[in-house]
Structure 1
């Protein structure tokens, strides 16, 4: 009996080790509060994986992807050009799975990086604004308000800082591509002493406490989530055209736990993952057959041909070209003419 007990005790460390969950480090520019239902569903389906989810800014996520040692297992960001640049540099590993092969071609690149959300870019305003002027429903409306109510709106308008936010810079570049009046709008925001913020959350906080009355180019997913508990905040998808950005995810080339990383990526692309996005988060699903209040198809039905998703292809690399960035920022600083960073 004693010999049997000693044998069992000697085996216990190896048994415990075999049962220990596999760590998985996900570095993400995606608010944990918004994505929580998706993470919970993954953990429910994969109790053998210890998910360690780190929410960070787009610029810090990009730095972690480039420099962290050990590297994160999975990298997620809304700064689409930066994600494409890291993949182009060879920092991603290919995902060979049925989910990856069947993913829509317009939402992936070389089966190495995948767009798994479909998030509209929105204008947000306080309900108070309607007491003074007709709220904007288009980019042209916002420009008109800034010109005709400049004194009333001075210091009460906010948008992204193109230097402090990778996604903000990307959105402005896309605006300049689609709208011939974009620079007029930038000049009008500058004349109204626009406040530049690094995150949608900071803009929403300012809108809630009354510091700001209007916010331009906010992430619709965050704004819709926020508006659920702040009825004084109104979210407007622009009716002339609406940009759509996708969170792009890839498995890091040097992922310490590649099997767990593949399981997580497959989940993001799976029907179970996309159903969770569509039914429990305002991140909007990509798959066409998924049903729920937040789907790409439902958004297309609402906005129609005026919906402009930012494409996942090599054209994104142009946005991180230093010469192009310098030229854009010179024009931005010339048009906006304010002291904000």
Structure 2
């Protein structure tokens, strides 16, 4: 996909012409096939497979096709395929701003059920976009490369570490490339709105030759191998899964504030199988589905028994709704990307 991001809508519509297919996995019906469901999602197939397997225990006649697509391509592919035989039945994405844009532009089918009513107000919008899980946005470090005495617990401490005379993070720090990563762009704009030191931190990352990548997994591969010592602003669940598997990683939820990204589901108006999409969404939001997301897929559940799904004191959920459209404005996006690029590129050695 082109990196020349000048006009958002123009870019995404143009990119839709060439957006490459994602990784596709077909989950055949466990019994006589009576229904089909096509899901386009940004969650890794290996993570979501356990969820689909459990759903098929309840609905053995449903064949599920899951396509793992990066966030921007998911948006572009939907615009390209929505009126074709390849149209998805359900979109599941951590790109909250792009999901919001699809809803705002009239592409979503409303759905009400006891399960959707149980979703906290901060995690749904217009009964058309629903949070199914949430992700704390964290720093991840290599426990062998960064001594505990140097591990930052706030953005101010990270800034001090980046400015330290011995430069422990020189060429050893990474983050999302927000020109290629929609989630990275969302997080960077949220930091700019919430954090008074966001500009200084970005400049210090640039001074230290920050490594920029599109996918969370690539960043975690590099910090796990020791190529990087620390990565900033990445999704937490992927790191925790690697820690559970024995990787030498530590996770930090910044104590000043920890952003929370929703993994949202939306049923398109053009869904070929809307009833199956509604049924699957209700499963995801049910007590059983939320338990599977939590225990098996290691994703944090939205709906909690006996609670409102409040993610915690220092966690700051990014609110679904029209406020997310502000930085999708073409002029604002171009200005933000220009400023970001000048900080992370011009100072690199």
Structure 2 SS opposite 1:247 = strand
How far is the alpha carbon of 1:20 from its aligned partner?
A: 2.4
Once residues 90 and 132 of structure 1 are traced to their aligned partners in structure 2, the CA distance between those partners, rounded to angstroms, is 50
- Cα RMSD, aligned residues only: 2.0
User: What is the match of residue 24 of structure 2?
Assistant: none
Pick from 297, 304, 317: which aligns with 2:325?
317
User: What is the match of residue 25 of structure 2?
Assistant: none
Once residues 165 and 61 of structure 2 are traced to their aligned partners in structure 1, the CA distance between those partners, rounded to angstroms, is 58
| 1:62 lines up with 2:75 in the alignment | yes
How far is the alpha carbon of 1:109 from its aligned partner?
A: 1.0
User: What is the match of residue 227 of structure 1?
Assistant: 243
How far is the alpha carbon of 1:51 from its aligned partner?
A: 1.0
User: What is the match of residue 328 of structure 1?
Assistant: 336
Q: TM-score, normalised by structure 2?
A: 0.85
Once residues 335 and 243 of structure 1 are traced to their aligned partners in structure 2, the CA distance between those partners, rounded to angstroms, is 22
Structure 1 SS opposite 2:251 = strand
Once residues 63 and 28 of structure 1 are traced to their aligned partners in structure 2, the CA distance between those partners, rounded to angstroms, is 13
* Range 183-192 or range 331-340, more displaced: 331-340
User: What is the match of residue 62 of structure 2?
Assistant: 49
User: What is the match of residue 154 of structure 1?
Assistant: 170
For structure 2, list consecutive stretches of 5 or more residues without a partner in the other structure: 1-30
Residue pair 2:135, 2:262 contacting (<8 A) in 1 also: yes
User: What is the match of residue 278 of structure 1?
Assistant: 294
| 1:144 lines up with 2:177 in the alignment | no
Pick from 193, 197, 204: which aligns with 2:220?
204
Once residues 338 and 76 of structure 1 are traced to their aligned partners in structure 2, the CA distance between those partners, rounded to angstroms, is 36
User: What is the match of residue 78 of structure 1?
Assistant: 94
Once residues 202 and 31 of structure 1 are traced to their aligned partners in structure 2, the CA distance between those partners, rounded to angstroms, is 13
Within-5 A mapping of 1:229-308:
229-289=245-305, 296-297=309-310, 299-300=311-312, 304=313, 306-308=314-316
Residue pair 1:129, 1:213 contacting (<8 A) in 2 also: yes
For 1:147-174, what per-residue CA distance to the aligned partner results, in whole angstroms no more than 9, with x for missing partners? Answer: 0056432211100011110000000111
Pick from 53, 75, 86: which aligns with 1:40?
53
Moved over 6 A (4+): none
Residue pair 2:146, 2:229 contacting (<8 A) in 1 also: no
How far is the alpha carbon of 1:247 from its aligned partner?
A: 0.7
| Change beyond 3 A, Cα 1:339–1:181 | closer
User: What is the match of residue 104 of structure 1?
Assistant: 120
Q: Which has the larger radius of gyration?
A: 1
Residue pair 2:48, 2:297 contacting (<8 A) in 1 also: yes
* Range 46-55 or range 230-239, more displaced: 230-239
Within-5 A mapping of 1:13-28:
19-28=32-41
For structure 1, list consecutive stretches of 5 or more residues without a partner in the other structure: 1-17
Once residues 41 and 290 of structure 1 are traced to their aligned partners in structure 2, the CA distance between those partners, rounded to angstroms, is 24
How far is the alpha carbon of 1:326 from its aligned partner?
A: 1.1
Question: Whose helix proportion is higher, 1 or 2?
Answer: 1
User: What is the match of residue 124 of structure 1?
Assistant: 140
